[in-house]
Structure 1
Amino acid sequence: MIELKNVSKTYNGSTYAVDDLNLNVKDGEIFGFLGPNGAGKTTTIKMITGIIAATKGEIKINNTDIQKEPLKAKMEFGFVPDSPDMFLRLKGIEYLNFMADIYDVPANVRKERIKNLAERFGMINALDDQIQSYSHGMRQKIIIMGVLIHDPEVWILDEPMTGLDPKSSYILKEMMREHADSGNTVLFSTHVLEVAEKICDRVAIINKGKILFCGTLSEMREHFKNSESLEKMFLEMTENE
């Protein structure tokens, strides 16, 4: 579960990138976080993950306050950032073991998880190569694998399908559904509205730092009676702002 209460962020003391945001992402759901560029999505995700501090408000991951107990809260989630270009000089297997070390994953457990994830993402033959030799899509896959190595209850994914081939994208969506159906939490941001429409249980639309809508797609359709697709509803909502 992810809870945000009256969360705001300002970088200059006057203009708010995120303004009094309230959000509750429940266990057992895939929650889509949508908004145009500069809407406040990445700022919100960085506050949830503890990369930056909120100016005011409270953020909890599985009832642990990210600002008061950051290490405990960070053990609860796995975070896929919007750029996979990191630790490029490490080999794939070195990076996965590094991530497993951070989260104290036992040797026998990590070995099995690495094997399963590598098989699922088609990365078995690439683990002994340096990450800098990977394509963008392969880098994205190794980052996702590293995030999942400690089997976190909460997944926080910032544009996770960028650069993935159709098969890998399908596999990730399948894994997201499996994770949520097991009673866990998945929060992801995306620009691909068709993906959100197909897999999300609920969505929130943010623009100019404020939540314009939060709920199911059927609830949104009830509000926008003349709009059939999420894309049309999204455009109508954000353009009116």
Structure 2
Amino acid sequence: MIYCFYIQYLIEGKMKVWAQRRREDGAALAGALPVVEGASLLELLVVDVTLAGNRRPSKVARLQPIGEQRILAQLAMPKLVQLKGWGIVISGIEEHRDDYRNVRGTAQTWVCKFHVPANAVGWRVRDMYVGGIAVPKSGVREGSGSRGPLVVGGEHSNALQRHTTCAELHRYEISTFPQKRLIDCDLVWMSDTTFELVGLHIKPAHGDEPEQLERGGWLCEIDIKERELTKAEYRALR
């Protein structure tokens, strides 16, 4: 008899990445350099915070040492540029003070690679909206979701008639069309071992109803391949 056991992916509760930057003081570099000199793995977070001088929360992307609440690098107004394989690209504004103590913002891009276990195979995606209506949080977490390679990038959207960021979840097996798609999408937050994408879902035209764009969103986490338990492991669990 074969017994299977699903191993949930947790790396001390945070997304860990190797991070490089593409700019220095807003100018493009000839080659990418480490965001933090001498650092290896870092924790990547995308959260809402209240910055100095602002009353309203603002979204920021942060790189922190593993297990520490200490900010090593930060981007204001972060935007998801690309996600493919285990790589993710985030752009934003890097702020620093000039010689006169004025806060100066310059463009910056982080090129990061997720640290994942050897048996990671893709992504598990759970719908946060159905028909434009929010799914209760308990329902999102309890859902099995869809699994496969996740790709995010810029392309022209016929539905919007402009260039935008689109996310597609493909199947593990070869298929002509993706199983899920969001257009005009963005990264809302990233924490623990999950992140949230929001955007628009295209509801195709049907009968007399025209094509509609509905609010959509995905809760994404790394998908881990199931493995078979040995007989000794199975007996230990009984």
More strand by share: 2
Q: Which has the higher contact order (CA 8 A, sep 6+)?
A: 1
Bigger Cα Rg: 2
Q: TM-score, normalised by structure 2?
A: 0.21
Q: TM-score, normalised by structure 1?
A: 0.21
